[in-house]
Amino acid sequence: MAEIKTTTGTATIDIYVQVVNISPIASITTPTVNQQVSGFVDIIGTAGDVVPVDFSSWALTYEPFGGIPTQIATGTTPVTDATIATWDTTQLQNGVYTITLTTQDKSGQTATASVQVQLVGELKVGNFRFTQQDIVIPVQGLPITVSRTYDTLNKDRYKDLGHGWTLDISDMDVQEDQYREAFESISGGMIPLRIGGGRDVTITLPDGRVTVFGFELKPTTEPFTYKAVWTGPPGVFDTLIMNGDNRVYALFGGIVYWAQGTQDQGYEYYEVPSFTLTTVDGTKYLVEKEDLGGDYVDTGYGEYVFSQNLGAPKLTRITDTNNNTLL
């Protein structure tokens, strides 16, 4: 309430002030989505507030695919378009990771920014790896070994034998560069739908190396038709292919879809159900995803999209050069 004096007298008016709470700022500009990183990685971006005095704190974490978030650094000083922290990846397993920046202001409001990257490279400092062979099964002269391996690079991954442990060979680790989000299906219940990602595949090779097979679409001799191809880095002679028809159609009007999918499903929503890894000696490793029962889901954007609802990729069969099934 305020009084205003005029030449004819005094008037009283009410003044209302609306206080608008603005969320803090969180953004990551480097690395970029699906970028390959290694060694010591500078995380560049902004952690702050429109009103600097209202800023409280920031926290930066990384999370491996299927793992748990781990803190990289925290702070209480705003950062603007500069290095927020440096991420040491020299003791981490190669694969897909999500970096998340969370900021908070003094009123408790938060903001987050995330980016998914591909960790590559063989410079791993202070790594300890131990393997215990439990059983050897001779099959057609080619033995199958069952071994337990502890690797400090796997310390953030929990599997059947605990943190850091893997079971070889049937526990082959396969990760895909993709984003999934849960939506409500028309039959009721929430099921995951692939909504994006670069489609690179990170796989643990039989010799223990963790390798990223890069995805690309290559043109074919057929009009409006491309083929999906995965290529390993230099020095890796094993091959990875998707099983079935690997063609992708790109029609007029921006209509793009997979030959194994449907036109109304589109390009991004389709998920490759199985792959075959072939090593240089001709051994084939079949990696499949369990069919959990697909259904149409409501994306919330006025469209219903078919979700294949596939499980995690798992090694289901090993075949030798004589087509003998070893697993």
Q: Encoding tokens for residue 271?
A: 């998920």
Is residue 82 over pLDDT 50? yes
> Residue 153: phi, psi to the nearest 5?
-70, -15
Point out the least confidently predicted range of 101-105, 122-126, 183-187.
122-126
pTM of structure: 0.58
Indicate whether 195 and 304 sit together in one domain. yes
pLDDT (average), residues 100-108: 92
143 part of a folded domain? no
pLDDT at 129: 61
Distance CA 41, CA 298 (A): 38
pLDDT (average), residues 53-69: 85
- What is the amino acid identity at position 5? K
pLDDT, the chain, mean: 81
Is residue 20 over pLDDT 60? no
**Domain end residue (candidates: 119, 145, 164):** 119
pLDDT (average), residues 92-116: 88
Indicate whether 186 and 101 sit together in one domain. no
Q: Encoding tokens for residue 259?
A: 């030959």
Indicate whether 78 and 185 sit together in one domain. no
Distance CA 254, CA 228 (A): 18
189 part of a folded domain? yes
Indicate whether 184 and 314 sit together in one domain. yes
Q: Is 223 exposed, middle or buried (0-12, 13-18, 19+ CB in 10 A)?
A: exposed
Indicate whether 115 and 187 sit together in one domain. no
Host domain of residue 64: 25-119
Confidence of residue 29 (pLDDT cuts 50, 70, 90): very high
Give how many domains the chain has, as a whole number.
2
Indicate whether 190 and 304 sit together in one domain. yes
233 part of a folded domain? yes
**Domain end residue (candidates: 119, 142, 162):** 119
269 part of a folded domain? yes
**Domain end residue (candidates: 119, 145, 163):** 119
Q: Are 60 and 41 spatial neighbours (Cβ–Cβ below 8 Å)?
A: no
pLDDT (average), residues 14-32: 77
Confidence of residue 176 (pLDDT cuts 50, 70, 90): confident
Indicate whether 179 and 114 sit together in one domain. no
Indicate whether 220 and 313 sit together in one domain. yes
247 part of a folded domain? yes
Q: Are 247 and 256 spatial neighbours (Cβ–Cβ below 8 Å)?
A: no
What is the total residue count of the chain?
327
Cα-based distances in Å from 279 to 3, 95, 283, 285: 86, 20, 5, 8
Is residue 17 over pLDDT 60? no
Is the torsion defined by CA of 156, 240, 34, 211 positive or negative? positive
Tens-place pLDDT, residues 263-310: 888 899 999 999 999 988 888 889 999 888 888 988 877 788 888 888
* Gyration radius (Cα) of the chain, Å: 26
Confidence of residue 9 (pLDDT cuts 50, 70, 90): low
Tens-place pLDDT, residues 211-261: 889 999 999 999 999 999 999 988 888 999 999 999 999 998 888 999 999
pLDDT at 22: 79
Domain CATH number, residue 60: 2.60.40.10
Indicate whether 231 and 294 sit together in one domain. yes
- What is the amino acid identity at position 162? G
147 part of a folded domain? no
- What is the amino acid identity at position 40? F
Tens-place pLDDT, residues 119-145: 887 666 665 666 666 555 554 434 456
> Residue 259: phi, psi to the nearest 5?
-60, -35
Q: Encoding tokens for residue 157?
A: 């991954």
149 part of a folded domain? no
Indicate whether 178 and 283 sit together in one domain. yes
Indicate whether 229 and 307 sit together in one domain. yes
324 part of a folded domain? no
Indicate whether 178 and 298 sit together in one domain. yes
